[in-house]
Structure formats: structure tokens, C-alpha cells
Amino acid sequence: MVIGHSAGASIAIRLAAADGALAGVVLLAAAARPGEEVMRDQSERIAASLRGLTRLVAGTLVRRQERARRRLRASTEDALRIDGRRLPARWLREFMAYDPAGDLPAVRCPVLAITGAKDLQVEPGDVARIGELAGGPFEGEVPEDLTHVLRRHPGPPSLSTYRAQLREPVDPWLLGRVAAWTAAR
């Protein structure tokens, strides 16, 4: 059994595609599209979620993220400083280049995919795409109010609420669902 969240779900897909002996794979906030597309869409969803005065910088945010992706693609370094932050350039290039759609048909073990309807970082519709592509039995869910950090949030999706959400426990329904599913396998 392997369980992965977000970028870890990409790793879980690779492992499940390579290891036919796994009892199952749980994909939490997993993308079913190339990483670069995920990052581009993520920038747009985050920009669209901005409220108040921060909404004024939404276009700037999207453009800065696109410039950063161009610099990452063109780089060969393991790490790169962009906008004053040191980024793991090699890992980001690998993430941007990876398309899980190539590995999902080779995943023959049972798959459980869950992405919250309020996930700003992964398109919730990718759950259905994973189901279409996976080579084995599939169960997928898109719970209302569940965010990328696996907590429930009743308000509009927003990165600004992540810090407060992270002080709360992981959603009990999610933990129970994953525990029951894995125990059944």
C-alpha cells in the first residue's frame, strides 16, 4: 500500500505503476496532468481567489509565476534563486515535466483518489480523469469544503486561511475513509 499527497501523490503513481504487487494506492490531492500545467492552473486559481486589495496584484502574480517557470525550464542548476527565494530547481523541472497520464494505465492495483472541492492547488476534476486513466479498480471522491491541506473550511477557498487550517487536525472523515479503504485491502 502506498499513500501520497499532492506532489507525493505523483510519486505514489510512479511507484504503483512500477510495482504490480501493491495492495492499493491512495492519491490525496493528486493531479492527472503534466506538472507544468498544474502549476499554471494553480497560479490562475490562486489569483482568482484573492480578495480585497490583494485582488489588484492577481495579474502580477500570474505573470511572475510564468516567468519563474520559464527560468526553471531554462536552468540546469539543482537550486535557483528566484525573487529572493532559493528554489529546488531540479526537482521543480522534474515535476513540471512529469505527466501522470503516462503511468496511470499501468496502475493495476485498486486506487482511491480524493481531492477537495476547495483545493486551489490541484484541479478537483482530476479525480475523474484519474478514474478514466487508472488501469485497476477505482474509487474517487471530491468532498465539499475540503482544501488542499486536507482540512474543512466553510468559507471561500483561499491560501490566506492555510495557516489557521494547519492548526486544526486533518479532516476526521478523510482519515476514516482512508483507514477503512486501506484496511479492506
Q: What pLDDT does 60 receive?
A: 77
Interatomic CA distance for residues 173 and 180, integer angstroms: 10
| Count of positions (residues) in the chain | 185
**Residue 120 above 80 pLDDT?**
yes
pLDDT band with cut points at 50, 70 and 90 for residue 157: confident
Residue the block writes with cell 540546469: 76
Specify the pLDDT at position 21. 93
Q: Which amino acid is located at 179 in the chain?
A: A
> pLDDT at residue 113 above 70?
yes
In the chain, pLDDT over 90 holds for what percent of residues?
69
Mean pLDDT for 34-50 is 84
Looking at the DSSP bridge assignments, the partners of residue 27 are 4, 113
Contacts of 106 (CB under 8 A, 6+ apart): 17, 18, 135
In this prediction, residues 102-119 reach a mean pLDDT of: 97
In the chain, the domains with their CATH numbers are 2-33+100-183 (3.40.50.1820), 37-96 (no CATH)
Q: 58: pLDDT confidence band, cut at 50, 70 and 90? A: low
Instruction: Give CA 151 to chain center in angstroms.
Output: 14
**pTM score:** 0.88
CA dihedral 46, 41, 169, 141 (to 10 degrees): 130
Q: Where are the alpha helices (DSSP H) in 50-150?
A: 58-74, 89-97, 126-133
**Predicted confidence (pLDDT) per residue in 71-105, tens digit:** 888 999 999 898 888 989 999 999 999 999 999 99
**Position 4 pLDDT exceeds 70:** yes
Kindly report the number of other CB atoms within 10 A of residue 17's CB atom: 21
Q: Which residues contact 3 (CB under 8 A, 6 or more apart)?
A: 12, 25, 26, 28, 178, 182
Helix then strand count (H, E) for the chain reads 7, 6
Write down the pLDDT at residue 54: 66
pLDDT of residue 27: 98
Determine the Cα–Cα distance for residues 70 and 51; give it in Å rounded to an integer. 27
